[in-house]
Amino acid sequence: AEEPWVGRRFGAEFRRFSLDRQKPGRFEDFYKLVVHTHHIANTEVTIGYADVHGDLLPINNDDNFCKAVSSANPLLRVFIQKREEAEHCSFGAGSLSRRRRPLALREDGPRRRTHLHIGLPHDFRPVSSIIDVDIIPETHRRVRLYRHGCQKPLGFYIRDGTSVRVAPQGLEKVPGVFISRMVPGGLAESTGLLAVDDEVLEVNGIEVAGKTLDQVTDMMIANSHNLIVTVKPANQRNNVVRGSRASGSSGRSSDSTASRHSLPAAHVLQNLPPDEMESDEEADVVLEGVLEPRLAPRPPPGSLTRVNGAGLAPSLHSPGREGSVQRLLSSLRSDPRHSLALPPGGVEEHGPAVTL
Amino acid sequence: MMKFRFRRQGADPQREKLKQELFAFHKTVEHGFPNQPSALAFDPELRIMAIGTRSGAVKIYGAPGVEFTGLHRDAATVTQMHFLPGQGRVLTLLDDDSLHLWEIVHHDGCAHLEEAIHFQAPSRPGFDGASGLPSLAHITVVLLVAAGDMAALGTEGGSIFFLDVPTLTLLEGQTLGPDEVLRSVPDDYRCGKALGPVESLQGHLRDPTKILIGYSRGLLVIWNQAARCAERIFLGNQQLESVCWERSGHTVVSSHSDGSYAIWAADTGDSPTAQPTVATTPYGPFPCKAINKVLWRSCASGEHFVIFSGGMPRASYGDRHCVSVLQAETLVTLDFTSRVIDFFTVHSTRPEDEFDEPQALAVLLEEELVVLDLQTPGWPAVPAPYLAPLHSSAITCSAHVANVPAKLWARIVSAGEQQSPQPASGASSWPITGGRNLAQEPSQRGLLLTGHEDGTVRFWDASGVALRPLYKLCTAGLFQTDCEHADSLAQAAEDDWPPFRKVGCFDPYSDDPRLGVQKVALCKYTAQMVVAGTAGQVLVLELSDTPAEQTVGVASLDLLQDREGFTWKGHERLSPRLGPLPWPAGFQPRALVQCLPPAAVTAVTLHAEWGLVAFGTSHGFGLFDYLRRSPVLARCTLHPSDSLAMEGPLSRVKSLKKSLRQSFRRIRKSRASGKKRTVAGSKLQEANAQLAEQAGPQDVEVTPVQRRIEPRSADDSLSGVVRCLYFADTFLRDAAHHGPTMWAGTNSGSVFAYALEVPAAVAGGEKRPERAVEAVLGKEVQLMHRAPVVAIAVLDGRGRPLPEPYEASRDLAQAPDMQGGHAVLIASEEQFKVFTLPKVSAKTKFKLTAHEGCRVRKVALATFASVACEDYTETCLACLTNLGDVHVFSVPGLRPQVHYACIRKEDISGIASCVFTRHGQGFYLISPSEFERFSLSARNITEPLCSLDVRWPRGATHIRHPRAT
């Protein structure tokens, strides 16, 4: 299914074969088929596939194999990598958009993991996490919502309200912003970490006190790719009860999904200025066109998109040692509508790059 | 070195000091016509004029550049204003019955307007109750007597109170009740009826002890305040509107609610006088409306002037706003488009002069000020050097051009002079000349361009405090419009009586909303400009000093580029007039491009050096070579799922406005024809009526305000709207070669960069050889936050914005660093980002919305000069947010420098109208008719600096009646 130029670029090769969509069979057979087709029987490889969101997800058991085949529409792109290489770039949604600048923390991380194989659950995508439990008051909760690649809406509404604060003179009423509604089936509801009438205290580390509802709305939307909300839950019964400091690990940040990049973020929030906080920031997509106007025939009006389409290849000219697949995916992923699931005709018509 | 400085953070004391030398926020002056004026006054000694407004503002104007502004603490309507002649003081009466004394005082040689004292009329019913006198409630008229030391206050109850002006205290015991007056009136006139409110109080020019009192019932009394007796009594029986006392004191003129005025002889005959010498209803015999105010002005020729407002025949012209000027046999009915507030004449007020000899008549209307020269035959209008009616047609866009070359300036001024019937010798014949303008001659010429709903572009001199009209460009003549002037045709068929004369330029009725100007760009070096409008029309014009007859080349460009599945449901494109058309001297059209579908143009830019114009709509953008008159490029920016954008203008506000306009026009027509119009309710009107009903507050459900938290998705509607276009000579292909580029930014955060192949001009020749311009897409950037891109600018190797076309090649600006290291600054509604060129990688950024919760509405690059050091300047990014705050950021470091609260965040139209200048100033509309000018620069400030030679009797204020004794 892949266009040949991708292969040349990445020193990889491509094979195309068909599977019975209704009865894909077992993973083991599939693995053998892959290894055989590529003549790589001696190498340990991991197999992954690109799902409809453009995320690279693993195929390592019958269940996710079935899931992968069922998601093919009509093609399934399967990626095969050497196992040691693959370890450097973990699967999952975050893998595609992570900041390329390596954090110091990460340098020695993967190596250890390869030996221990105590790792992150590879076949899950992080959805939310509670972070910074060690630095914020027990009555507050700092929740991080991961929305990348997720089709679900964030799914909540906020409203104005009044909250009661303890002041030197006694209790005083101050204006506040509260969660007013959860959209059923939305990301916020599905995490269970936010609830109606929770008071919003901070958005991505910036206090909302003194800001209007519209300002808070704009701040949340501007941070929606990596939204960190500090709330004071209306229901205070489920708070984390901290043990004594001496108990060590209980004072550490807990992370409900143990996503690997939530750890740096937890520290970032307290240590770094806000600007450096977006370790997960999605980079803007830049596409280059062919810039040889005299050589290229002048495109007739209406087919300018073709110029653009041809320009995809140079954009990928400097893949890093790792993450090249992710880069390709991430650029393709930027518009889900035109991602891998598109029928070939659609791609032809618009040119693959037009929609990026 | 620059970079080093920018990297420094926060509280660097040196940087803080520098910031203070560079930035300061001032609201400096209000340009235009005061919104909702409600009172007018003139000081004949100082020759200054005061206008009060319904929001409690006091504005005083003298010679051009002499302006004072004050604002009452309470936002109450100013109902009356009275100058204390020669003193630079003005007494104002508000509709809450308070009196305020304002003074023009000098600080550091410059005059300012300040409120000195105020007086609140005690409105308690118990006041003066013991003596049985009525209370001082509801002041109807104010008269300054005794050179302004004392004020007589007429009230609704018919009493007259006296007030010491310097202290604003009531003079007890001088109050004149209606009973005292009634004692001198014959019994048969009294017949048990009250005199009614005091309608008019007039003083005598030569004898300050005498006051002419007019009561609502019609009684006129000349009261001698010193002797406390009625000298003469005129037994009028018609309800009184106003009274004028002729300067010699021999004649009294009264105007009445039935549209008549009467002349009474005051020097002969018996007292009381029962009948006037003359009583006339000028627009009779059918019932007429009241004559609200009448003036009598004597001339040496013996042919006096009678000037009055109102009095029109109720049935046929009851809706007209008229002032009639009658001299001997000559009557002119000045027909205005808005309500008459008040009027005065400029005439001699020296007591020794025998005659008034009026020079000019000034009429304050709801929407403009009109001054007529009464000494020139035909009484022509005098163009006003200020109080420009910016809103004569609604402002739809504006642009500022700084540093206009002297040559272009002179050509525009000359085109404007040829345009107006009277050469702009306005300064000499303008009668309001008080005060001296102390402001220095502006160092550079600034041009403010306003685009209007009727398809005009007006050029204003914005160099100084007084915003002066220079030239008006009218684009409507190029098109065949729906409704040609039916009104004017109808009017020609009307009778010659009354002798109407259209005066003033306020005309809010646009013939065709498609003519509306959306975007304007002017190249100040080549005098070429582009005007783009509501129906997708893009007009390239060039300034010509001579009239010409020519055919305009028309091209159309399909921005949809064969996208299927869309139908345009909006307005049709304008049909241009074909064939040669006569064009007066001024900007004459060279080429017309019509976008298809004909959606409103949302962005436009011009590069006169390359002969290219780029324009965008909600569907895409196009590039047009106007030298060869051929399209170069069309690109659709629509998202496939964005069907809304296709269906035409969505705004129901607009359609409501349109239907309002239509109904206004219908009302006018029906009144003019006098026929009952048939009710032909079109479907559009019905739909609009339904919409209006839906919008009504009664139907709105009472739910708590809540906001949905959802990121922008690619298929948001109107994502394809092109928000900005930009030309730059920069590095797009590779780091070694630079060349022409075009950039476009859309509502959904996409940026398209095209490399242009512009054939080089022949050496020495202005024109390019006849070879086609080519455009090739070079880069496409999708900002991941998908916020609308509001501005794009390329910075040179030193981090400075590239100069405008021709600026560098004509040595008018420092040549940019073309050695490479260019960067592009992309400003979206949420963040600013600087990317390196040619490899577009993010260099610096500032995420405004994520940090502050505000969104970017307007941005501009501005050069800030230091007050401390002549040569030190910094280029910064000025930004106006949706909260009305102005922020300044360093460039290219994008560090926040300063921010100020500028506009109320509720004032959406003010925020939308804001335009920045290149030297750190800005303008925004504070009302449909007024621009507030503000300044972010500590150095470049345009504010009124003026002085007034006031004869302010500081020590003498306590001496009462200096002339009476």
Element housing B595 (H / E): strand B586-596
Confidence grade of residue B413 (pLDDT, cut at 50, 70, 90): very high
pLDDT of the residue at B127 = 46
Tokens matching residue B924: 């925004």
- Distance from C-alpha of B276 to C-alpha of B848, rounded to nearest angstrom: 75
Name chain B contacts of A307, Cβ cutoff 8 Å. 776-777
Q: Does A103 touch chain B (CB under 8 A)?
A: no
Tell if the CB–CB gap between A159 and B706 is shorter than 8 Å: yes
* pLDDT tens digits, B175-233: 888 888 888 888 888 777 788 899 999 988 778 888 999 999 999 999 988 888 888 89
Q: Which residue has the tokens 């709330």?
A: A231
Tell if the CB–CB gap between B784 and A282 is shorter than 8 Å: yes
Asked if the model's pLDDT at residue B679 lies above 80, the reply is no
Confidence grade of residue B79 (pLDDT, cut at 50, 70, 90): very high
pLDDT of the residue at A343 = 35
Asked if the model's pLDDT at residue B73 lies above 80, the reply is yes
Of B640, B706, B710, the CB nearest to A181: B706
* pLDDT tens digits, B463-511: 988 898 999 999 999 998 755 544 444 444 456 778 888 888 888 777 7
* Residue A8 or residue B504, greater confidence: B504
Asked if the model's pLDDT at residue A256 lies above 80, the reply is no
Which residues are B100's β-sheet partners? Answer: B92, B118
One-letter amino acid for residue B845 of the chain: K
* pLDDT tens digits, A196-244: 999 999 999 899 988 999 999 999 988 888 889 999 998 877 766 554 4
Q: What is the pLDDT averaged over residues A61-80?
A: 81
Q: What is the pLDDT averaged over residues B335-345?
A: 94
Confidence grade of residue B864 (pLDDT, cut at 50, 70, 90): very high
Across chain B, what does the average pLDDT equal? 84
Query: Residue B810 carries which DSSP code?
Result: T
Q: What is the pLDDT averaged over residues B89-103?
A: 93
Q: Which residue of A has its CA nearest to B741?
A: A291
pLDDT of the residue at A42 = 79
Confidence grade of residue A293 (pLDDT, cut at 50, 70, 90): very low
pLDDT of the residue at A247 = 39
- Distance from C-alpha of B367 to C-alpha of B388, rounded to nearest angstrom: 10
Asked if the model's pLDDT at residue A305 lies above 60, the reply is no
pLDDT of the residue at B715 = 63
Q: How far is CA A124 from CA A90, A129, A339, in A?
A: 11, 13, 21
Of B640, B757, B853, the CB nearest to A211: B853
Asked if the model's pLDDT at residue B602 lies above 90, the reply is yes
Asked if the model's pLDDT at residue B32 lies above 60, the reply is yes
pLDDT of the residue at A96 = 43
Q: Which residue of A has its CA nearest to B830?
A: A222
Q: Where is average pLDDT lowest: A21-30, A303-312, B353-362, B868-877?
A: A303-312
pLDDT of the residue at A121 = 58
How far is residue A73 CA from its own chain's centroid?
Answer: 22
Are the C-beta atoms of residues B743 and B725 closer than 8 Å to each other? yes
Confidence grade of residue B289 (pLDDT, cut at 50, 70, 90): very high
Q: Does A209 touch chain B (CB under 8 A)?
A: no
Asked if the model's pLDDT at residue A57 lies above 70, the reply is yes
* Residue A177 or residue A276, greater confidence: A177
pLDDT of the residue at B33 = 94
Asked if the model's pLDDT at residue A122 lies above 90, the reply is no
Q: Which residue of B has its CA nearest to A187?
A: B710
Q: What is the pLDDT averaged over residues A76-87?
A: 73
Tell if the CB–CB gap between B778 and A217 is shorter than 8 Å: no
Q: Where is average pLDDT lowest: B161-175, B670-684, B756-770?
A: B670-684
Give me the DSSP letters along B275-308: S-SEEE-TT-SS-B--EEEEEEE--TTS--EEEE
Question: Model's pTM, two decimal places?
Answer: 0.77
Torsion sign (Cα): A230, A235, A240, A245: positive
pLDDT of the residue at A124 = 63
ipTM above 0.85, yes or no: no
Confidence grade of residue A157 (pLDDT, cut at 50, 70, 90): very high
pLDDT of the residue at B295 = 94
Burial A234-272 (b: 16+ CB within 10 A, else e): eeeeeeeeeeeeeeeeeeebbbbbebbbbbbbbebbeee
Confidence grade of residue A336 (pLDDT, cut at 50, 70, 90): very low
- Percent of chain B at pLDDT exceeding 90: 52
- Backbone dihedral angles phi then psi of residue A110, each to the nearest 5 degrees: -60, -35
Asked if the model's pLDDT at residue A252 lies above 80, the reply is no
Q: Where are the beta strands (DSSP E) in B444-527?
A: 447-452, 456-461, 468-474, 479-480, 500-502, 517-523
pLDDT of the residue at B961 = 34
Q: Where is average pLDDT lowest: B84-88, B639-643, B737-741?
A: B639-643
Of B710, B714, B780, the CB nearest to A153: B710
Q: What is the pLDDT averaged over residues B308-331?
A: 92
* Burial class of residue B221, CB neighbours in 10 A (0-12, 13-18, 19+): buried
Q: Does A287 touch chain B (CB under 8 A)?
A: yes
* Residue A340 or residue B860, greater confidence: B860
Confidence grade of residue A348 (pLDDT, cut at 50, 70, 90): very low
Q: Which residue of A has its CA nearest to B712?
A: A221
Question: Distance from B570 to chain A by nearest Cα, in Å?
Answer: 23
pLDDT of the residue at B757 = 92
Tokens matching residue B529: 């400009």
Asked if the model's pLDDT at residue B516 lies above 80, the reply is yes
Q: Does A282 touch chain B (CB under 8 A)?
A: yes
Q: Where is average pLDDT lowest: B82-86, B350-354, B738-742, B944-948?
A: B350-354
Torsion sign (Cα): B614, B617, B622, B626: negative
Q: What is the pLDDT averaged over residues B98-118?
A: 90
- Distance from C-alpha of B399 to C-alpha of B470, rounded to nearest angstrom: 15
- Percent of chain B at pLDDT exceeding 70: 85
Tell if the CB–CB gap between A214 and B707 is shorter than 8 Å: yes
Please count the residue pairs, one from chain A and one from chain B, whose beta carbons lie less than 8 angstroms apart. Answer: 145
Q: Which residue of A has its CA nearest to B833?
A: A284
Asked if the model's pLDDT at residue A266 lies above 70, the reply is no
pLDDT of the residue at A145 = 86
pLDDT of the residue at B673 = 39
Asked if the model's pLDDT at residue B902 lies above 60, the reply is yes
Asked if the model's pLDDT at residue A262 lies above 60, the reply is no
- Distance from C-alpha of B242 to C-alpha of A285, rounded to nearest angstrom: 74
Asked if the model's pLDDT at residue B940 lies above 60, the reply is yes
pLDDT of the residue at A327 = 46
Name chain A contacts of B707, Cβ cutoff 8 Å. 157-159, 213-214, 216-217
Question: Distance from A212 to chain B by nearest Cα, in Å?
Answer: 9
Confidence grade of residue B769 (pLDDT, cut at 50, 70, 90): low
* Residue B958 or residue B115, greater confidence: B115
* pLDDT tens digits, B846-858: 999 998 889 999 9
Asked if the model's pLDDT at residue A127 lies above 80, the reply is no
Q: What is the pLDDT averaged over residues B130-134?
A: 49
Confidence grade of residue A300 (pLDDT, cut at 50, 70, 90): very low
* Residue A100 or residue A354, greater confidence: A100
Q: Which of residues 324-353 of A touch B (CB under 8 A)?
A: 334-335, 337, 353
